[in-house]
Amino acid sequence: MPFEKKRGKKRLINSIHNSLAGLVNALLTEDAFRQLFVIDSILLIIAFFLDITKIERLLLISSCFLLLVVELLNTAIETVVDRISLDIHPLSKRAKDLGGAAQLVTVVMTIIIWLVIIF
């Protein structure tokens, strides 16, 4: 019997449930995600108290959320690579390094955005 995909409201509810489960899992198991979550929470509070334009505030807020998104994707890449094999392999290292590089680029971008807007 082939697997039947959920449709309509059931699919949406199931998708939201799975997404929230992933978010909770990341908060409970990933130190880097937890650290970014705390830093982003502080930055978001600061963003609402700064005397800046709405567009500048939107850029600050967006950069914070992008940090979390890229960290989740990086964690997903690392998880899949580890699922395939824990053996050290050049392609596994490359995939993990590229995920880490994406996170580094996002961190640098966020720092630049915050510095340019604040100063």
Out of 30, 56, 71, 78, which one is annotated catalytic?
71
Is 73 part of a structural domain of the chain? yes
> Which CATH number characterizes residue 42's domain?
1.10.287.3610
Domain for residue 54, yes or no?
Answer: yes
For residues 80-97, give the mean pLDDT: 93
The answer to whether residue 7 is domain-embedded is no
Task: Give the separation between CA 19 and CA 114, rounded to whole angstroms.
Answer: 29
pLDDT in tens, 36-77: 999 999 999 999 999 999 999 999 999 999 999 999 999 999
Q: Is residue 5 part of a domain?
A: no
In terms of phi and psi (left: phi > 0; alpha: psi -120 to 50; beta: otherwise), the region of 8 is left
Beta carbons of 76 and 98 less than 8 angstroms apart: no
Residue 100: inside a domain: yes
85 SS3 class: coil
Is residue 4 annotated as a catalytic residue, yes or no?
no
Residue 74 is part of which domain span? 31-118
Q: Provide the domain count of the chain.
A: 1
Average pLDDT, whole number, for the chain? 94
Tokens of residue 73, six digits: 């994707």
